[in-house]
A and B are shown apart, each in its own frame.
Chain A
Amino acid sequence: MRVAKKPVGPLAGVPFAVKNLIDIARLPTLAGSKINRERPPASADATLVARLEAGAVLVGALNMGEFAYDFTGENSHYGPSRNPHDPARMTGGSSGGSAGAVAGGLVPIALGSDTNGSIRVPSSFCGIFGLKPTFGRLSRAGSFPFVASLDHLGAFARSTIDLALAYDAMTGPDPLDPACSDRIDPPIIPRLHTGIDGLRIAAAGGYFRTGAGPEALTALDNVARALGATRQIEIPEAARAREAAYIITASEAGALHLQRLRTRPRDFEPDVRDRLIAGAMVPAPWVVQAQKFRRWYRDSVLRLFEEVDAFLAPATPCVAPPVGQKTFVLDGQQVLLRPNIGIYTQPISFIGLPVVAVPVPQADSMPTAVQIITAPWREDVALRVAYALEAHGVARAPQPPE
């Protein structure tokens, strides 16, 4: 027994679980890999785990794509996580176990990480709410990195209120994470019900509609209609933003794993190994150029927030594919599935904007989610919009059959 006193507070007695790249004291942090089995067990809980444990109760560690380089939730070492709405389908990744556990009613709250879409993609495939906060908002102390420039921790839940409860319990500065902001904003729960009157909301057009399948477009249009969002805005150079996100991702992840790639390549999952090796060979001028472009792109997108308070985009181009599927059709082209599921999420996390993914159930179809994207540090606005959509009935985490 670690805590003898009776749990209290807004998360008293709530079971939760965390993606296994977040430290749990006395458990190895495997990050979905075979290689990390050799690491000693974590000596302490990660900051976010400790903060939730003020009232909530940690019940375990969750499956994930190896080293988080994944959009499928598949893992050849530990087996694929499976979608509660149809176990023959993917959860999405890399936080696949987190989304499966919440969507399947095993826990009401789970933590995950999102570098290029690893919270928003599984939220979409599993039909639950996901929050990827502003870069630097939540402490990453005690988590296994993937791409330090782009890694975010965040949460999954079956309702906006639960997402906000978890978020409020986790925010705040942390000297253990140098990237964590010193900002302190008021809790969101008391403001969640304040409505969306006066908020200027637009749908992202152009790039963010190109390639979207019918379910994704229907979900987006249903959400836009419910919000009265008739305006479309163009996000400048979103395609280039995605390419630059991949250059930074590949090179930083390749560098992080370089020694292990040299000495024990066979211990990596083959799909991940190949991408990491390619990443380790990305020319430095490309990386420098990608970072320069990132500043330009960030400034350009931030200017859009002078005109809108939030914009909408699909979270994924399609519903969850079957486990094991390698390709899918995107904009009429047969393309590889693994690298292309995050086309709509990557240009957003690339500049650290906060996003709530809201699930939109549809008759006779798997669910899919819509991203509500706001200016940095305005998680409150994204969560208020999500709450309004839930109250309206258009956003909901459907309960799967068992």
Chain B
Amino acid sequence: MTDFAWASAGTIADAVNRGEASAIDVVDQALRRIDRRNPVLNAFTAVRPTAPVCVSQRSPSGHSPECRSR
């Protein structure tokens, strides 16, 4: 699948609207990236894996369905 880490919002929305990417996959990627980079950057204080489109049971590192706070 396309790597959306540095993709613009416009690029992501176009891909989702055209059916070339699913919102679930895009958000899944973002959550994995947050998991990997946040220990260095300390930008997030809470991650919310069950965001509106439901990042499902496939979310990385077995997030609980509720919000996960540090």
Indicate with 1 or 0, residue by residue over B1-21, a CB within 8 angstroms of chain A CB atoms. Answer: 000011111101101110001
Q: Which residue of B8, B40, B44 contacts A97 across the interface (Cβ within 8 Å)?
A: B44
Closest to A58 in B: B51
Q: Is the CB of A15 within 8 A of B44?
A: no
Interface residues of A in 60-84 (CB under 8 A from B): 60-63, 78-82, 84
Q: Which residues of A contact B15 (CB under 8 A)?
A: 13
CB <8 Å contact, A13 and B45: no
Q: Select A162's contact among B10, B33, B37, B52, beta carbons within 8 Å.
A: B10
Provide the residues of chain B in CB contact with A27, threshold 8 Å.
46, 48, 67, 69
When C-beta atoms are compared, the residue in chain A nearest to B17 turns out to be A12
Q: What residues of chain A lie closer than 8 Å to B46, measured between beta carbons?
A: 20, 24, 27, 60-61
How many A-B pairs have beta carbons closer than 8 Å: the answer is 168
Q: Tell me the residues in window 11-47 of chain B with beta carbons closer than 8 Å to chain A beta carbons.
A: 12-13, 15-17, 21-23, 26-27, 30-31, 33-34, 37-38, 40-47
| B31, B46, B47, B70 interface centre (most CB from chain A within 10 Å) | B46
B-contacting residues, A161-191, CB 8 Å: 161-162, 165-166
Pick the contact of B42 from A24, A78, A159 — CB < 8 Å?
Answer: A78
* Interchain CB contact (< 8 A) of B13 among A9, A24, A62, A107: A9
Asked if A12 and B16 make an inter-chain contact with CB atoms under 8 angstroms apart, the answer reads yes
Give 8 pairs: A residue, B residue, CB < 8 Å, sorted on A: A13-B12, A15-B12, A26-B66, A61-B45, A63-B45, A97-B44, A100-B41, A157-B9
Extra inter-chain contacts (13) besides given A17-B43, A82-B43, CB under 8 Å: A2-B50, A7-B53, A12-B23, A13-B26, A20-B45, A26-B67, A57-B52, A59-B27, A59-B30, A60-B44, A79-B42, A106-B44, A162-B8
Residues of A within 8 A of B (CB): 1-4, 6-15, 17, 20, 24, 26-27, 30, 53, 55-63, 78-82, 84, 87, 91, 96-98, 100-101, 104-109, 157-159, 161-162, 165-166, 399, 402
